[in-house]
Structure 1
Amino acid sequence: MGVAHRFNEKRAFRRQVEAAGGGGAGEGAADRRHALGWTALMVAAANDQVAAVRELLRLGASPDLQERYAGAAAAAAAAGLHPLDAMQRREEDFCPGMNSRASFLGWTPLHYAALADSPAVAGALLDAGADPTQRDHAGRRALHYTRDPSPTRDLILQHTRRWEEAEAAAAAEERRRFPLEQRLKQFIVGQQAAIETVAAAVRRKENGWADEEHPLVFLFLGSSGIGKTELAKQLARYMHRDDPAAFIRLDMSEYQEKHEVAKLIGAPPGYVGHEEGGLLTRALARRADAVVLFDEVDKAHPDVLTVLLQLFDEGRLTDGKGKLIECKNAIFVMTSNLAADEIAQHGLQLRREQEARSQQRQPQQPRPTRLRPTRVEHDPDPDPEPDPDPDPDRAEAALEVSRHFKDGVVRPILKRHFGRDEFLGRINEIVYFLPFSRQELLTLVNMELKRWAEKALARHAVELQWEGGVLGALADGYDVHYGARSIKHEVERRVVNQIALAAERGALARGCAVLLAERRGRVALLVRCPPARDYTPLDLGAA
């Protein structure tokens, strides 16, 4: 592509753009990229070519495309060039004062206009709809690169505030129509009390009814595979609209030694890796309002917990270089299996008490089972399982963990392990994840079978269906210590293994259909291959 600052005459530049071939997916001629990653609009903005910027925008150039140039070494490796060649090509298009060795990954034309201190170019981009809140790979907006004071900064700041106000209003309206609880329940099976606790705390923070001097801190407790990590992920998706940089996950089992604190915040000056920084500090520098998950926090070294205490207490963190990172708007989630057995047994007891109260209030009345679309009316079960997707008015009430159990059983275990009251004192909410009810187990089994049905159809052109009793037979394999993972393993062991064996023996080919049926607690396979219309049982051994 031609160089923007070489085309001072608008007509010549227009002919250059129109003569260019099409860009990548979703990119037109005006957005055609250089082999090393930049576009003509970025070059024009960086070189303060106002006429070229306006013409490119008129021809359809996107003001929000992001730079792919990650520095001379990375760009040269990706393009099969020598780094010196990459640097030369970069310097041909951009002003000599711009470091061609540095990474500009994620920069938009507005970032370049800010660096060039060009209010005219910035104005043209903003009038064309450029998003001033868009971040580069380092998590910085265009405003970060402006001079202070300058007309360019004032202009970008004005538009940034407008965008933020509009986004805040849109987010508030979305939250009103689609509350956090509703979003989380779409992806999390059960755990109604946990969802309500998290949603209430986040609502306080979002609406200004929380301590602004401290970040929001959760401790998720419960067995493995119960939904703790998934809830943190979905919270990040809700808060930041699927921005991958807004969810930071750190496995604390990797920080069991004292010296591994440096991996978290960076090595001090004079030590190996000083320039690289730490995983946490780098991530928070990109998104200081991220949702940060400290997975299995109980496995971390006490010195790591000291770092976390400072983070939770002050809402700031100092990295190995001495740079202060403010993160009071972040949400920190810790997960732990501490007291998992006690919580599981307490949850089972609560469910037994709930069922007993329910039976006392109303005698159990038999009701017909609604068959899901993935089931078939073939040899219906004499004793079908309940519908795995109950109506909202039949949903179970949330189980509440008693204060006596929290203070008398769980807190002593936490205090004995962490050994400090101030650490526990900085946790806003301790959230309890309880074992699944029978209804929730049926839902989990149904979801897992649907997932495998989609895979069977997409990969092997095999249609997978099942009868209602299969859900109950598979749900019986639930292990309270492994949560939903035990259901996943049960489906793989008793269903997928049989299907794979049938395929290996030649009894199942592309275009066939498989029906899962429950026979005296076992899962049996019936196969129908064209042109046959009836299912034939397969004798593959007991499931």
Structure 2
Amino acid sequence: MAAEERRKFPLEQRLSEHIIGQDDAIKTVASAIRRRENGWYDENHPLVFLFLGSSGIGKTELVKQAAKYLHKDVEKGFIRFDMSEYQEKHEVAKFIGAPPGYLGYKEGGQLTKKLEECLNAVVLFDEVEKAHPGVLTIMLQLFDEGRLTDGQGKPIECKDAIFFMTSNLASDVISDHVDKIREKAAENNKHKDEQKLEDLEAGERINISKKFKDDKVRPILKRAFRRDEFLGRINEFVYFLPFSQSDIRKLVTKELQYWSEQAKKKHDISLEWDHNAVTVLADGYDTHSGARSIKYEVEKRVLNQLAMAQERELIEKGCVIRLTAANAEELTKTDESSIEPPTIKLQLLQKGKEDKYVDINLEGGDK
């Protein structure tokens, strides 16, 4: 990519359009790629990253977006492996190809074939901790020498490739640590007379200390990978943090914006929403599923209603629909005294002397 375009539209900005709540991870990846693009890197070794954090918080998506930035042909330039498929010793041959005399040796290995096609590819090893130690030995050679020898003894030079690994190792430890820091920040905020949105978001930003990484996380990694030299060839250990409340609301808004665009494009329907709707949908966030849970929540509580309303001819092309919350007053209650939990409801804009929104009756709504 031309230097002028990179200056006008920095990589951090590009990645932030797709990844929510992981500013430090974005900065780390963007800085490493910038060094590489401008010639400030070790040409004898490929770049190697290990992404740490729980599922559904942007690890794989960040790799995908980096690949799109670096390669016009993403199909060729992005190579992804699910390492849970390489847990047995015999699957080492599947990775680099069987040696001569063994069944399938002419077919080559899954990794070696793809690297030959694109020596500067972005390669993702998902859930790397599940790989067999024999596969990790091959990866160590790859990271250390920037070279891989296939089953037939043919060397493949791939020093220009960029390797990403993702892992859920230590995710519970990281989450607990971050939650405690955020709880402390929230407690401190209670004593402030005024709370601006910027102040609240600043309190949700977390810096993980070197001491925590060395004392808590590294021992977990050493037990899993068993080899210091493997960890020693990783350029960057990148920490993905659990979403804060403001991050979750941003995820909801992003998902609604996507479906607003689809509603306009496919059905010529304008879709709007208020802050109460965002709050109700954000309550459906599940830490085990991460961002995916917001997608499911919008499908279940919004798209189901829209599809039903369209089928019953309660909405039509050119109309304006607003999402809001039924029993919105219950949102402010912190105890269990709620008569009925808040739900999402659809309202149709009726135009006249005074425009007004009218509830769409679907007999059961989004329950």
Specify if TM > 0.5: yes
For 2:266, the equivalent position in structure 1 comes to 459
| Residue 528 of structure 1, CA deviation | 4.8
Distance 1:516 1:272, change over 3 A: same
Distance 1:397 1:513, change over 3 A: closer
| Residue 231 of structure 1, CA deviation | 0.7
Which sits farther off after the overlay, 531-540 or 179-188?
531-540
* Distance in 2 separating the partners of 1:193 and 1:316: 30
* Distance in 1 separating the partners of 2:40 and 2:204: 27
The answer to which structure, 1 or 2, has the higher relative contact order (CA under 8 A, 6+ apart) is: 2
* Distance in 1 separating the partners of 2:277 and 2:5: 39
* Alignment TM-score, normalising by the size of structure 2: 0.86
**Is the 8 Å Cα contact of residues 190 and 440 (structure 1) preserved in structure 2?**
yes
- 1:526 and 2:352 matched: no
Higher relative strand content:
2
For 1:247, the equivalent position in structure 2 comes to 78
Q: Which has the larger radius of gyration?
A: 1
Matches within 5 A, 1:505-520: 505-519=312-326, 520=328
Q: Secondary structure at the match of 2:159?
A: coil
For 1:290, the equivalent position in structure 2 comes to 121
For 2:194, the equivalent position in structure 1 comes to 364
For 1:82, the equivalent position in structure 2 comes to none
Matches within 5 A, 1:385-404: 398-404=205-211
* Distance in 2 separating the partners of 1:295 and 1:535: 47
Q: Which amino acid aligns with 1:349?
A: K
Which sits farther off after the overlay, 348-357 or 409-418?
348-357
- 1:535 and 2:357 matched: yes
Matches within 5 A, 1:102-141: none
After superposition, the C-alpha distances for 1:305-329 in whole angstroms (9 at most, x for unaligned) are 1111111111100112221111111
* Distance in 2 separating the partners of 1:180 and 1:232: 13
**Is the 8 Å Cα contact of residues 204 and 244 (structure 2) preserved in structure 1?**
no
For 1:485, the equivalent position in structure 2 comes to 292
* Alignment TM-score, normalising by the size of structure 1: 0.59
Matches within 5 A, 1:206-225: 206-225=37-56
After superposition, the C-alpha distances for 1:229-254 in whole angstroms (9 at most, x for unaligned) are 11111112222345432211111122
For 1:442, the equivalent position in structure 2 comes to 249
| Residue 227 of structure 1, CA deviation | 0.4
Q: Secondary structure at the match of 2:143?
A: helix
- 1:425 and 2:232 matched: yes
Q: What is the number of residues matched between the two proteins?
A: 349
Q: Which amino acid aligns with 2:324?
A: A
* Distance in 1 separating the partners of 2:194 and 2:228: 47
For 1:327, the equivalent position in structure 2 comes to 158
Matches within 5 A, 1:21-32: none
Unaligned runs of 5+ in 1: 1-169, 367-385
For 2:178, the equivalent position in structure 1 comes to 347
**Is the 8 Å Cα contact of residues 508 and 529 (structure 1) preserved in structure 2?**
no
Distance 1:344 1:534, change over 3 A: same
**Is the 8 Å Cα contact of residues 192 and 398 (structure 1) preserved in structure 2?**
no
* Distance in 1 separating the partners of 2:72 and 2:182: 35
Q: Which amino acid aligns with 1:447?
A: K
* Distance in 2 separating the partners of 1:531 and 1:277: 70
Which sits farther off after the overlay, 212-221 or 259-268?
259-268
* Distance in 1 separating the partners of 2:299 and 2:19: 21
Distance 1:358 1:184, change over 3 A: farther
For 2:147, the equivalent position in structure 1 comes to 316
| Residue 464 of structure 1, CA deviation | 1.9
